[in-house]
């Protein structure tokens, strides 16, 4: 199971995001500031880091640089509610909070190399669309 470290100083957003990620089959761990994230990253293995940009103390870009120093292969996604930000080479993607889901799931799957495993016709949502197009009997 792939592990995601989700960092946001808004605790409710962090917890809800982790719940959504867990429903998608990931192991999701929340941290509420960069220092806590660094501590958890040092104790556990994570496949990807998702972090808020603006936080008290160290911001998300500074956290990304520290994570990249320890683990350069770990993808980092920054989320922000404050418009476009200038990111460095340590950041793989930047998403707006208002568009967080499903965009975050798509980015996570992309960076973890998880492609579409089912053909379109066998996806549950495709079946619903197919059934809704059939005439009533």
pLDDT in tens, 55-91: 999 999 999 999 999 999 999 999 998 777 777 788 8
3-43 pLDDT tens trace: 999 999 999 999 999 999 999 999 999 999 999 999 999 99
Name every residue whose Cβ is closer than 8 Å to that of residue 17 and which is 6 or more positions away in sequence. Answer: 6, 8, 28, 30, 50, 100, 101, 104
Count structural domains, the chain. Answer: 1
The pTM of the full predicted model, rounded to 2 decimals, is 0.80
Domain of residue 86, CATH code: 3.40.50.2300
For residue 69, the enclosing domain spans 3-133
Question: Could you please report the per-residue DSSP string of 59-80?
Answer: -HHHHHHHHHHH-TTS-EEEEE
> Are 30 and 14 contacting, i.e. CB atoms less than 8 angstroms apart?
yes
Per-residue model confidence (pLDDT) at position 116: 58
- The DSSP secondary-structure symbol of 102 reads H
């Amino acid at each position: 199971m792939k592990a995601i470290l989700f960092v946001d100083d808004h605790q409710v957003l962090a917890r809800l995001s982790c719940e959504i990620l867990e429903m998608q089959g990931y192991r999701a761990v929340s941290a509420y500031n960069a220092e806590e994230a660094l501590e958890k990253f040092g104790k556990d293995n994570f496949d990807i880091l998702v972090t808020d940009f603006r936080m008290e103390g160290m911001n998300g870009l500074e956290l990304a640089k520290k994570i990249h120093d320890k683990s350069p292969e770990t993808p980092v996604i920054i989320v922000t509610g404050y418009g476009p930000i200038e990111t460095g080479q340590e950041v793989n993607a930047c998403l707006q909070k208002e568009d967080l889901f499903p965009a975050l799931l798509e980015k996570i799957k992309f960076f973890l190399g998880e492609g579409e495993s089912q053909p379109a016709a066998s996806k549950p949502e495709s079946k619903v669309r197919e059934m809704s197009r059939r005439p009533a009997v």
